[in-house]
Amino acid sequence: MASENNSRPRFHLAFPVTDLEAARGFYTDILGARTGRESERWIDFDFFGHQLVAHLVEPEDHPSVTTNAVDGHAVPASHFGVILDWVQYEQFVVKLEQAGVEFVIDPYVRFEGRQGEQATLFVRDPSNNYLEFKAFRDINMLFDKDLETY
């Protein structure tokens, strides 16, 4: 999903992929990103207004993923994603389900009915990079230090 808001800082993330065309399909067709500059070894994506750069690597050079236990789930320690507003998140879940995307961690709500309530899900791209999409019931809780932790 692309963004046209030009008044805020942008995040840049370069990450490894083992198949550029599979990455292109996933990030554009499934997640709604637009492509920017590209070469034979990399593609820029407009990912919710942020610059992602998929760099082609050999499969044996792609890093393995370690996990941490969170709410009884094995959360990939290496992951990225975006924080959507609650309605966008709900619509995004439907979009992923309709596209047949397999969830690594099914959508669920953490701290339901409590301060810091948040919805989250994890998916994996074709190169086994993990993405988390989440929403906070109250975005002001995003960096609140008084929230319960895992």
pLDDT digits (tens, 9 = 90+) for 87-108: 999 999 999 999 999 999 999 9
CATH of the domain at 134: 3.10.180.10
- Under the banding of pLDDT at 50, 70 and 90, the label for residue 60 is very high
97 with 131, same domain?
yes
Range of the domain at 88: 66-150
Alpha helices in the chain (DSSP H): 20-24, 86-98
98 with 53, same domain?
no
**pLDDT higher than 70, residue 3:** no
CA distance 146 to 143: 9
For the entire predicted model, the pTM comes to 0.89
Which pLDDT does position 150 carry in this prediction?
43
**pLDDT higher than 70, residue 149:** no
Quote the Cα angle for 59-64-68, to 5°.
Answer: 160
